[in-house]
């Protein structure tokens, strides 16, 4: 397999971006990686958590899928959706994955880490998508 680095650019908040080109078996792969520009440095950032229900919708689309698309289009470095086993929220209704209860409306949490200002600037648009669902933000360090 042959590969080459096409370009590297510096991004905001200490990130660098590299586009790598891989050639293997007559197929070309182009991958863009975002990483800390100085490995080993601690970088202050923020963690945004959005607490949802798996079956929640926005304009007949899954809320969590809509949020992931929005974050990707907004240039956020990454987001992870975690599926809960059991939980409840403001509605005081227990949501669970227990087989006997056959609930498909289980809790999910989206975790998003990026620059705090960048995340805070997206909260009004996220609020339009998720409605009154709980969102929290806290300072974190990327190590």
φ, ψ of residue 129 to 5 degrees: the values are -80, -45
**Nearest CA to 63 among 27, 110, 21?**
110
In the chain, which ranges are E strands?
Answer: 2-10, 15-24, 27-36, 43-53, 57-58, 61-62, 79-83, 86-87, 95-96, 107-114, 135-142
- What is the mean pLDDT of the segment spanning 45-59? 89
Alpha helices (H) in 9-104, listed in sequence order: 63-73
pLDDT of residue 126: 96
The most confident of 25-29, 33-37, 135-139, by mean pLDDT = 135-139
Mean pLDDT of the chain: 75
Q: Specify the higher pLDDT residue, 137 or 13.
A: 137
Confidence grade of residue 16 (pLDDT, cut at 50, 70, 90): low
Instruction: State residue 12's pLDDT score.
Output: 46
pLDDT of residue 55: 85
Select the more confidently predicted residue: 15 or 50: 50
The Cα–Cα gap between 30 and 126 comes to 30
For residue 62, which of 74, 48, 50 has the smallest C-alpha distance?
50
Using DSSP bridges, classify how beta strands 2-10 and 15-24 pair: parallel, antiparallel or unpaired: antiparallel
- Regarding pTM above 0.75, the answer is no
Q: Is 20:3 a contact under the CB 8 Å cutoff?
A: yes
Query: What is the per-residue pLDDT for 129?
Result: 95
Residue 11: its pLDDT value, please?
Answer: 45
């Amino acid at each position: 397999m042959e590969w080459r680095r096409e370009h590297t650019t510096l991004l905001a908040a200490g990130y660098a971006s590299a586009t790598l080109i891989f050639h293997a078996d007559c197929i070309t792969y182009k991958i863009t990686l975002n990483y800390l520009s100085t490995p080993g440095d601690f970088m202050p950032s923020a963690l945004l958590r959005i607490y949802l229900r798996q079956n929640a919708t926005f304009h007949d689309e899954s809320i969590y899928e809509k949020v992931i698309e929005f974050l990707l289009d907004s240039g956020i470095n990454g987001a992870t959706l975690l599926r809960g086993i059991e939980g409840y929220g403001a509605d005081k209704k227990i949501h669970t994955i227990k087989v006997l209860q056959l609930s498909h409306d289980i809790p999910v949490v989206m975790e998003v880490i990026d620059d705090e200002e960048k995340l805070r600037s997206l909260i009004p648009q996220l609020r339009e998508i998720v409605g009154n669902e709980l969102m929290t933000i806290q300072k974190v360090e990327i190590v």
